[in-house]
């Protein structure tokens, strides 16, 4: 019987730091030719090499139209780390630090993710997350480290004046009724 060779990890993935400790972008190696392209969107060995050792338990896929703004969502129990990417379209992806013990508590970071740049954003547990669609339509895929728990989900006001997030708006955003009821940062349940 022949032994199955060990899977070799992707030889290169670029990590791009953000202003928030623990939050960073990943730029996978893309192999392209006249047929199109290939990339590994997830490889456990490679993720561990860059510091993502969390176990993912759920994959999510959303499709939204231009100016749809989703978030800012988080769970007070069963906090979710998220590995976010866009396979088609472009979004402005936002993470807000809700860890009271963090020197960056209440700070946010916004990055552009798109099907074209193929970058991913790692947001560890302890952050609120949201995005706004910049293209006509965007397909957003993300892996989560814990299951969705509606009883523990909270929504931070996307337009909170104290946070003053620059959503790069070019018109009125399309926001769900649930997200319109998001609470102000000063009133939000946060993490120890």
Q: What tens digit of pLDDT does each residue of 121-161 get?
A: 999 999 999 999 999 999 999 999 999 999 999 999 999 99
pLDDT of residue 3: 44
Architecture per CATH, 54-187: Sandwich (2.60)
Parse the chain into domains and list their residue ranges. 54-187
The predicted model gives 47-62 an average pLDDT of 96
Does the pLDDT of residue 120 top 90, yes or no?
yes
Q: What is the pLDDT of residues 2-51, one digit of tens each?
A: 444 444 444 478 999 999 999 999 999 989 899 998 988 999 999 999 99
Active-site residue flag, 42:
no
Q: Cβ distance 182 to 90 under 8 Å? A: no
Whether 142 sits among the annotated catalytic residues: the reply is yes
Task: From the candidates 42, 61, 73, 148, give the one annotated as an active-site residue.
Answer: 73
pLDDT at 177 over 90: yes
Choose the catalytic residue: 129, 139, 142, 148: 142
């Amino acid at each position: 019987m022949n032994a199955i060779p060990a899977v070799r990890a992707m030889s290169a993935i670029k990590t791009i730091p953000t202003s928030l400790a623990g939050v960073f972008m990943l730029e996978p190696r893309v192999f392209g030719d006249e047929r199109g392209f290939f990339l590994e969107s997830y490889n456990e060995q490679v993720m561990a090499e860059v510091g993502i050792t969390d176990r993912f338990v759920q994959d999510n896929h959303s499709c939204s139209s231009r100016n749809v703004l989703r978030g800012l969502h988080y769970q007070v129990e069963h906090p979710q780390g998220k590995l976010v990417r866009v396979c088609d379209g472009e979004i402005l992806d936002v993470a807000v630090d809700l860890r009271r013990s963090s020197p960056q508590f209440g700070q946010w970071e916004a990055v552009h993710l798109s099907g074209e740049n193929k970058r991913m954003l790692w947001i560890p547990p302890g952050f609120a997350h949201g995005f706004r669609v910049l293209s006509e339509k965007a397909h957003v895929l993300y892996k989560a480290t814990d299951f969705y728990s509606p009883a523990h989900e909270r929504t931070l006001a996307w337009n909170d004046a104290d946070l003053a997030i620059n959503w790069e708006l070019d018109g009125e955003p399309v926001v769900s009724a649930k997200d319109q009821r998001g609470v102000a940062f000063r009133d939000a349940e946060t993490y120890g």
